[in-house]
């Protein structure tokens, strides 16, 4: 059976950056099949990279993702491998406190090369357009409203579907 890891990432002390953490928390409250693991990684990107060495076929990263749309807009992004995040020739800088999905995946590639491990065959990023990532706890209303939609979207993805990307009211859906 294939193994899937759903990882909520972000900083709950930076407003909407806590989207991934809150979405993972709500998803973990729901019954999942035994081959699906849901974790709150928060800002521990290095921990996530090491956890992925345990061997997962699919990784779903859940994070605040600023792409210029209306706050609360959800995105599903298929990660195509190193360089997909346009990090340049040097790759992302490793900073244990500010690890983006690109940084975590680049670190995972390095760890796999050194250990003979295999990275997940499929990596999806479920992102939400933030309204604010300023210091402060709690999600803005449009991002808070997006959390249950993100939970449903992730469950559809985990069931093998290709869901229509949920969107903020009045916003265009993006993939």
Instruction: Detail the DSSP E strand segments found in the chain.
Output: 4-9, 36-42, 58-64, 74-79, 122-128
115 located within any domain: yes
Contact 120, 59 (CB under 8 A): yes
Does residue 174 lie in a domain region?
no
pLDDT of residue 62: 95
Name the more confident of 12 and 113: 12
Of the pLDDT bands very low, low, confident and very high (cuts 50, 70, 90), residue 81 is low
pLDDT tens digits, one per residue of 19-37: 999 999 999 999 999 999 9
46 in any annotated domain: yes
CATH number of the domain within which 134 lies: 3.40.50.1450
Are the beta carbons of 99 and 45 closer than 8 angstroms? yes
Mean pLDDT of the chain: 81
Of 73 and 117, the structure prediction assigns the larger pLDDT to: 73
pLDDT at 173 over 70: no
The answer as to whether 140 is a domain residue is yes
Give 131-141 pLDDT, tens digit per residue: 999 999 999 99
pLDDT at 83: 47
pLDDT band, residue 174 (cuts 50/70/90): very low
The answer to whether position 165 is within a domain reads no
Q: How high is the pLDDT of residue 94?
A: 40
**What pLDDT digit, counting tens, does each position of 48-64 carry?**
777 877 888 999 999 99
Highest mean pLDDT among 76-80, 84-88, 101-105: 76-80
Q: What is the pLDDT of residue 97?
A: 42
**Total domains, the chain:** 1
Does 152 map to a domain?
yes
**Burial (0-12, 13-18, 19+ Cβ within 10 Å), 115:** exposed
Q: Give the domain range for residue 126.
A: 4-158
End-to-end CA distance of the chain: 28
Q: Is residue 164 part of a domain?
A: no
Tokens standing for residue 8: 């909520």
163 located within any domain: no
Task: Report d(CA 4, CA 7) in Å as an integer.
Answer: 10
């Amino acid at each position: 059976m294939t193994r899937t890891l759903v990882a909520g990432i972000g900083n709950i002390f930076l407003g909407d950056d806590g989207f991934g953490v809150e979405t993972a928390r709500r998803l973990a409250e729901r019954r999942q099949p035994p081959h699906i693991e849901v974790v709150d990684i928060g800002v521990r990107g290095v921990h996530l990279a090491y956890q992925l060495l345990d061997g997962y076929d699919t990784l779903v990263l859940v994070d605040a993702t600023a792409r210029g749309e209306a706050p609360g807009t959800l995105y599903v992004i298929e990660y195509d491998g190193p360089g997909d995040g346009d990090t340049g020739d040097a790759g992302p800088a490793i900073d244990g406190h500010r690890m983006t999905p690109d940084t975590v995946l680049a670190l995972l590639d390095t760890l796999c090369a050194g250990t003979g491990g295999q990275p997940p065959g499929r990596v999806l990023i479920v992102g939400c357009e933030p309204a604010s990532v300023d210091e402060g706890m709690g999600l803005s209303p449009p991002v808070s409203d997006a959390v249950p939609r993100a939970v449903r979207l992730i469950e559809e993805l985990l069931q093998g579907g290709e869901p229509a990307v949920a969107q903020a009211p009045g916003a265009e859906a993006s993939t």
